[in-house]
């Protein structure tokens, strides 16, 4: 197993390098002069040239890539000019907030989605199945940012159950309960689409598995229906559900950008949007590379989980 994990980690290296190349190339497309953007339109050509030299922007493209990559490998993602602080510090701080939001949403989508899919399949064409199918259809059709706004209207403004936005109270807040209260709505809003997708897929996977001969064997042994469904069938269905969970993690991370805007959540998505509008290139580059790298590592964890579940996978 350790060997398998190592092998997967090694195979991630070219992917990670590829990501840095893609991000770097996209950013190199930017028209105009970043130094000019930093200094403003009243800068003298001498100052622009000097800043370009200081930033290393006068070097050829390939050299610039390797300087950037080398620095990142040493933990130096550069300096955000708009925030005037190291990119890595900002990204780490913001990413921890995103991780909390996306992590909780991901767990929600996995648990709720699988449960809904399994119940739906076990009660195929019954009332529960129809109700779940309808809610799932609604869930995958509603834009998460619109859902978030509606939730604010109903649960924060009208019913006053939860705070409207932010991650903690401005004064005297920040304890576990405070953060949890702030987390409920954004996490739910973020998880809805992914829950729908997972539920659909789980239903299909369960229907496929329930027709297998070994399910009949389990029943012939006298295994109770609860264990047949939630044990024998779900375990097999997980083999096709887990890879989708890996993909959904990417969707949850993506959706977090919108939800962070709606709920003023101080996460990495809002940071990126602000950085784009301010043309804070190094912050965008660093943020994208960092999050993408985390996603790649997460998917390795998914593969490992898959191989633990299914002994037929060669490790």
Partner 1 sequence: MTQFLALLLRNRLAAAGGIVLLVVVVLAVLTPVLPLANPDATDTANRFQPALSRAHLLGTDHLGRDLLSRLLWGTRLSLAVGFAAAIFAATLGAAIGIIAGYFGGRTDNLIMRGVDMLMAFPYILLALAIVAALGPGLGNALIAVAAVNIPFFARNIRGVTVGLAHKEFVDAARLSGLGHGRIILTEILPNVVPVIVIAMSTTIGWMILETAGLSFLGLGSQPPQADLGSMLGEARSALITNPLTSIVPGAMILVIVMGINLLGDGVRDALDPRLRSGALTRPMPATRVDRPTPPPAETEEGGAVLALSDLQTQFHVKKRVYKAVGGASLAVRPGECLGIIGESGSGKSVTALSVMGLVASPPGVITAGAARYDGQDLIGARYETLRRLRGDRIAYIFQDPLATLHPLYKVGDQLVEAIRCHRTVSKAEAWQRAIDLLKQVRIPNAESRASSFPHEMSGGMRQRVGIAMAMANDPDVIIADEPTTALDVTVQAQILSLLNDLRRERGLAIVFITHDFGVVGQLCDRIAVMYAGRIVEQGPTEAILTTPAHPYTRRLIACVPELGEGRRKLEAIPGLPPAVDRLDPGCAFAPRCEKARAACLTGEIALAGSGQRAVRCLFPETEIPSEQSA
**Residues from 46 through 105 that contact partner 1 (CB under 8 A):** none
In angstroms, rounded to a whole number, what is the distance separating the alpha carbons of residues 258 and 44?
A: 39
Q: Determine contact, residues 277/84, Cβ cutoff 8 Å.
A: no
Q: Of 306, 274, 258, 289, nearest to 105 (Cα)?
A: 258
Nearer to partner 1, 74 or 141 (CB): 141
Helices 234-262 and 268-277, packing angle to 10 deg: 40
Q: Determine contact, residues 68/74, Cβ cutoff 8 Å.
A: no
> Of the candidates 26, 67, 92, 180, which one interacts with partner 1 according to CB under 8 A?
26
> Of the candidates 83, 100, 128, 239, which one interacts with partner 1 according to CB under 8 A?
239
Q: Determine contact, residues 282/81, Cβ cutoff 8 Å.
A: yes
**Both tokens assigned to 171:** 């004064």
> Of the candidates 240, 250, 304, 315, which one interacts with partner 1 according to CB under 8 A?
250
Question: Is residue 145 at the binding interface for partner 1, with CB under 8 A as the rule?
Answer: yes
Task: With H, G, I as helix, E, B as strand and everything else as coil, classify residue 203.
Answer: helix
Restricting to residues 188-207, name those near partner 1 by CB under 8 A: 206-207
**Both tokens assigned to 62:** 């390939």
Q: Determine contact, residues 267/101, Cβ cutoff 8 Å.
A: yes
Question: Is residue 212 at the binding interface for partner 1, with CB under 8 A as the rule?
Answer: yes
Restricting to residues 2-21, name those near partner 1 by CB under 8 A: 15, 18-19
Q: Of 126, 141, 23, 134, nearest to 72 (Cα)?
A: 23
Question: Is residue 251 at the binding interface for partner 1, with CB under 8 A as the rule?
Answer: yes
Per-residue binder mask for partner 1 (CB under 8 A), 29-48, x = binder: xxx-----------------
Question: Is residue 138 at the binding interface for partner 1, with CB under 8 A as the rule?
Answer: yes
> Of the candidates 164, 184, 302, 304, which one interacts with partner 1 according to CB under 8 A?
164
> Of the candidates 137, 161, 175, 301, which one interacts with partner 1 according to CB under 8 A?
137
Least Å distance between CB 284 and partner 1? 5
Question: Is residue 292 at the binding interface for partner 1, with CB under 8 A as the rule?
Answer: yes
């Amino acid at each position: 197993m350790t060997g398998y994990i190592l092998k997967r980690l090694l195979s991630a290296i070219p992917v990670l390098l590829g990501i840095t190349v893609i991000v770097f190339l996209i950013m190199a497309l930017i028209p105009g002069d970043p130094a000019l953007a930093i200094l403003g339109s009243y800068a003298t050509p001498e100052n622009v040239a000097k800043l370009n030299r200081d930033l290393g922007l006068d070097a050829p493209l390939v050299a610039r890539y390797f300087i950037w990559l080398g620095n990142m490998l040493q933990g130096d993602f550069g300096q955000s000019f708009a925030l005037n602080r190291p990119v890595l510090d900002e990204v780490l701080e913001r990413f921890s907030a995103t991780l909390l939001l996306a992590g909780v949403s991901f767990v929600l989508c996995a648990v709720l989605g699988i449960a809904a899919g399994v119940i739906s399949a076990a009660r195929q064409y019954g009332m529960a199945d129809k109700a779940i199918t309808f809610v799932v259809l609604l869930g995958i059709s509603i834009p998460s940012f619109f859902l978030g706004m509606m939730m604010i209207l109903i649960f924060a403004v009208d019913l006053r159950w939860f705070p409207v936005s932010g991650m903690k109270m401005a004064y005297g807040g920040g304890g576990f309960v405070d953060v949890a209260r702030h987390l409920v709505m954004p996490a739910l809003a973020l998880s809805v689409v992914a829950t729908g997708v997972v539920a659909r897929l789980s239903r299909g996977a369960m229907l496929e598995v329930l027709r297998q001969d070994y399910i009949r064997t389990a029943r012939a042994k006298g295994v109770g229906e609860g264990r047949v469904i939630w044990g024998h069938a779900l375990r097999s269905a997980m083999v096709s559900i887990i890879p989708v969970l890996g993909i959904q993690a990417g969707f949850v991370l993506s959706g977090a950008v919108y939800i962070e805007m709606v709920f003023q959540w101080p996460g990495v998505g809002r940071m990126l949007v602000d950085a784009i509008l301010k043309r804070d290139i190094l912050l965008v580059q660093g943020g994208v590379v960092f999050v993408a790298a985390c996603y790649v590592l997460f998917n390795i964890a998914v593969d490992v989980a898959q191989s633990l579940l299914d002994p037929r996978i060669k490790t």
